[in-house]
Amino acid sequence: MTQRFERSLDIKNGRVDMTHGSGGRAMAQLIDQLFAKAFDNPALAEGNDQARLAIPAAGRLAFSTDSYVISPLFFAGGDIGSLAVHGTVNDVALSGAKPLWLSAGFILEEGFPLADLERIVTSMAKAAQECGVQIVTGDTKVVEKGKADGVFINTAGVGLIAEGVDLSVHNIRAGDAIIVSGTLGDHGVAVMAQREGLVFDEPVLSDSAALNGLIDNMIKSGVAIHALRDPTRGGLATSLNEMARAAGVGMRLNEAAIPVRASVRGVCEILGLDPLYIANEGKLIAFCPVAQAQTLLTAMKGHEHGREAAIIGEVVEDDHAFVEMTTTLGGQRMVDWLAGEQLPRIC
Amino acid sequence: MKYIDEFRDSGLAQKLAAAIKNEAQGARPAAQPFRFMEFCGGHTHAIFRFGLPDLLPPEIKMIHGPGCPVCVLPMAKIDAAIQLAQRYPLTLCTYGDMMRVPGGQRLSLLKAKAAGADVRMVLSPHDAVMLAKDNPSREVVFFAIGFETTTPPTAVIVKQAQALGLKNFSVFCNHVLTPPALKWLLEASAEGADGVPPSDGFVGPSHVSAIIGTRPYEIAATAYGKPVVITGFEPLDVLQAILMLVRQVKAGRAVVENEYARAVTAEGNVKAQALMAEVFDLRDTFEWRGLGWIPHSALKLKDAYGAFDAEKRFALEPSTAKENPACQCPAILRGAKSPEECKLFGTVCTPENPIGACMVSSEGGCAACYSYGRRKDE
């Protein structure tokens, strides 16, 4: 094919400008020389306005979408690009589906450096490859300077749920064990620390990761998993309250069993925050009958993203759908919904 | 985690709880429990967060005091801050919790921001000065609130602003002082005024005491015969302080004891005190939510720093807004009622839809009680 563009994209020094979203030659060049090059796959290469995809087997589709708006765009342990892949892959995989395809929509702010955009896109491509999904269709819009925060990304994902797999919050019942796949609050604290310029002896890294491999191991264990959820915004406490309400059950947690890194606890102590309410991007909560919990725990610990998995409580009958916790001191307390944003304490 | 886990040791907590039970059991008739007021909202928060009421025997009753910096600011001051942000082309900076407190007409700084006012949450007052420095054409006002803990940082930024020669920075100063409020509570309690219940002693503030030391509390022991134990925010600190208070009361003693010697001395932080004395003057009087007007209980900027005083730079009309008469925040702040005694608690007034300040701040009695303390059998 002859060279379509007289000059190649100046990624090193260039910046996003309004022409990159205009639908003209500049936009085509951005797509060709950055997005399509990084996400390279047959469906994308067809160059149609839609991806045409052959469904590989019988089963049900799982379909999810999420938008990613984060400051800073690059943080310890990840960036907005890998986050946009991991987040949607996880949302699809939590249904027990094998994630297959993603779409990627970019809203770019005029003036955003092309080098940073390339870094983000490369990170997305790498994340997609690592978790075995293809980015098969996309969209680009450019907004005037000041009308966005660098880059916003929307991803939608499609996966296939195998016959016989049925993970849903409505399956949760009294007598289920509550299991988390690892330490809580790492992502939220990593981002907050970077945003506020906090420096610690032991840096806290985001836990951003795709969990489809771990979930695959869990399903293969043969345990009757009732439901999975990733405790992202609002953290563990908010996810459990949502699930308790949806399933019409109560939950009892044991504070001493909940894994939180010492460094994360330290940051939370300084700022007056509760790690139970802080966002995670590479963790899941699992529900299964108590009798099978140890088997599931063993399966989880056999995967790199489940090494620090722990049984943290159980589901109980409770019409109020309260989430309660036995504190490390042996007292009882509510673990309530988060009201608004969690705010650092004043003194 | 070093320096934290040691103060959350479950075994030690059980031992302390047993010791408190031992001391308290049989010492008083069942209808007359030991009543201790935790002055500071940080202690209220810790008591509920760690489930301490489950560890305490029925002979101990804790009363929540007025020590939440967000809660004690009267509605008129919230309205004044909203007025500043809405009426003038300026950027108003303040601490996060302050933004959600409802003023008159159910407006808050957060709602004013959504309606277009330039209101920003800062983690430190230093951020406000830097904002002014980086935006010389923009007026920046720091809405300063809090007890002696947050006052020295405000003094620092006033001096910083002066050193930088800033012409576009000022402070709306609403810093209040702990000892006058404690004295007000002691007097009201002694006279049975304003519904303030009799108290057997006080759990003294931790961070505030790190600044002012233990001496300002001696009046409680010497003039009113009430013991005070200064203590930290960790659960073992609180339990230890309760044990020390029970022992004092049983022995008929009333002195100021310092359980928090790892951070608090008799003199306090002398440098911080000198800084405060350099920048601030006492106000003749100041209104506290729940406690009313208390003489010499708050600070204003000294005339020498008048250029940085928002009250001098901007004309503010007094607020005529009235508190919701059903809201019991005032009575809760002076220990006259518990949060559950307010008809609005948990029904009309929730953390998502706060009617009163006590439901906003995590240190407020209502928020702590609602978020941690509800039980399905209540």
Average pLDDT over residues A62-86: 96
Query: Tens digits of per-residue pLDDT, A194-213?
Result: 887 877 777 899 999 999 99
> Is B11 in the A-facing interface, judged by CB distances under 8 Å?
no
Q: What is the pLDDT, as a whole number, of residue B376?
A: 47
Cβ contact, residue pair B8, A346, below 8 Å: no
pTM of the predicted model over 0.80: yes
> Is A256 in the B-facing interface, judged by CB distances under 8 Å?
yes
Say which residues have a Cβ less than 8 Å from residue B342's Cβ, sequence separation at least 6: B326, B327, B328, B329, B331, B332, B349, B366
Cβ contact, residue pair A343, B96, below 8 Å: yes
Cβ contact, residue pair A347, B146, below 8 Å: yes
Cβ contact, residue pair A329, B149, below 8 Å: no
Q: Which residues of B touch A269 (CB under 8 A)?
A: 1, 4
Nearest CA to A240 among A176, A307, A304, A330?
A176
Q: What is the pLDDT, as a whole number, of residue A39?
A: 96
Give the nearest chain A residue to B99 (CA atoms): A343
> Is A197 in the B-facing interface, judged by CB distances under 8 Å?
no
Mutation choice for B interface testing from A195, A317, A333, A335 by most B CBs within 10 A: A333
Q: In this predicted complex, what is the ipTM? A: 0.82
Which tokens belong to B40?
């500071």
Cβ contact, residue pair B4, A333, below 8 Å: no
Q: CA–CA separation, B162 vs B155, rounded Å?
A: 11
Q: What is the pLDDT, as a whole number, of residue A187?
A: 96
Q: How long, in residues, is chain A?
A: 347
Q: What is the pLDDT, as a whole number, of residue A3?
A: 59
**How far B4 CA lies from chain A's nearest CA (Å)?**
9
> Is B370 in the A-facing interface, judged by CB distances under 8 Å?
yes
For chains A and B, CB pairs below 8 A equal 102
Q: Which residues of B touch A339 (CB under 8 A)?
A: 350-352, 371
Q: Which residues of B touch A322 (CB under 8 A)?
A: 374, 376
Of A228-237, A296-305, B317-326, the range with the lowest mean pLDDT is B317-326
Share of chain A above pLDDT 70, in %: 97
Confidence of residue A347 (pLDDT cuts 50, 70, 90): low
Of A11-25, B209-223, B232-246, B277-291, the range with the lowest mean pLDDT is A11-25
Q: Which residue has the tokens 């620092």?
A: B156
Q: CA–CA separation, A129 vs A137, rounded Å?
A: 15
Q: What is the pLDDT, as a whole number, of residue A257?
A: 98
DSSP 8-state assignment for residue B353: B
Q: What is the pLDDT, as a whole number, of residue A276?
A: 96
Q: Which residues of B touch A347 (CB under 8 A)?
A: 42, 69, 146-147, 149-150, 207-208
Confidence of residue B64 (pLDDT cuts 50, 70, 90): very high
Average pLDDT over residues B289-306: 97
Average pLDDT over residues B13-37: 94
> Is B41 in the A-facing interface, judged by CB distances under 8 Å?
no
Q: What is the pLDDT, as a whole number, of residue A156?
A: 98
Nearest CA to A44 among A98, A96, A121, A153?
A121
Which tokens belong to A20?
């990159």
Residue type, B133: K
Q: Are B46 and B4 in contact (CB under 8 A)?
A: no
The count of other CB atoms within 10 Å of the CB of residue B186 is 19
Of A19-33, A139-153, A157-171, A224-238, the range with the lowest mean pLDDT is A19-33
Residue B378 has pLDDT above 60, yes or no: no
Residue A165 has pLDDT above 90, yes or no: yes
Query: Tens digits of per-residue pLDDT, B226-262?
Result: 999 999 999 999 999 999 999 999 999 999 999 999 9
Q: What are phi and psi of B369, to 5 degrees?
A: -65, -40
Cβ contact, residue pair B371, A336, below 8 Å: yes
Cβ contact, residue pair A331, B52, below 8 Å: yes
How many Cα atoms sit within 13 Å of B296 on the Cβ side? 4
Cβ contact, residue pair A330, B13, below 8 Å: yes
Q: What is the pLDDT, as a whole number, of residue B1?
A: 67
CB-nearest to A328 from B10, B150, B376 is B10
Q: Measure the N-to-C terminal CA separation of chain A; round to a whole number of Å.
A: 66
Say which residues have a Cβ less than 8 Å from residue B213's Cβ, sequence separation at least 6: B264, B265, B266, B267, B268, B269
Q: What is the pLDDT, as a whole number, of residue B222?
A: 97
Q: Which residues of A touch B100 (CB under 8 A)?
A: 340
Q: Give bridge partners of residue B37 from the DSSP assignment.
A: B63, B202
Nearest CA to B206 among B165, B252, B265, B246?
B265
Q: Are A184 and A260 in contact (CB under 8 A)?
A: yes
Share of chain B above pLDDT 70, in %: 98
CB-nearest to B51 from A327, A341, A346 is A327
> Is A330 in the B-facing interface, judged by CB distances under 8 Å?
yes
Average pLDDT over residues A63-74: 96
Instruction: Measure Cα distances from A347 to A28, A170, A339, B49 in Å.
Output: 54, 42, 20, 17
Query: Tens digits of per-residue pLDDT, A75-102?
Result: 999 999 999 999 999 999 999 999 999 9
The count of other CB atoms within 10 Å of the CB of residue B87 is 13
Share of chain B above pLDDT 90, in %: 86
Burial tier of A317 (Cβ tally within 10 Å: 0-12, 13-18, 19+): exposed
Average pLDDT over residues A318-327: 96
DSSP 8-state assignment for residue A329: T
Mutation choice for A interface testing from B15, B49, B50 by most A CBs within 10 A: B50
Average pLDDT, chain A: 94
**How far B187 CA lies from chain A's nearest CA (Å)?**
27
> Is A336 in the B-facing interface, judged by CB distances under 8 Å?
yes
> Is B232 in the A-facing interface, judged by CB distances under 8 Å?
no
The count of other CB atoms within 10 Å of the CB of residue B267 is 11
Nearest CA to A332 among B372, B266, B231, B300?
B372
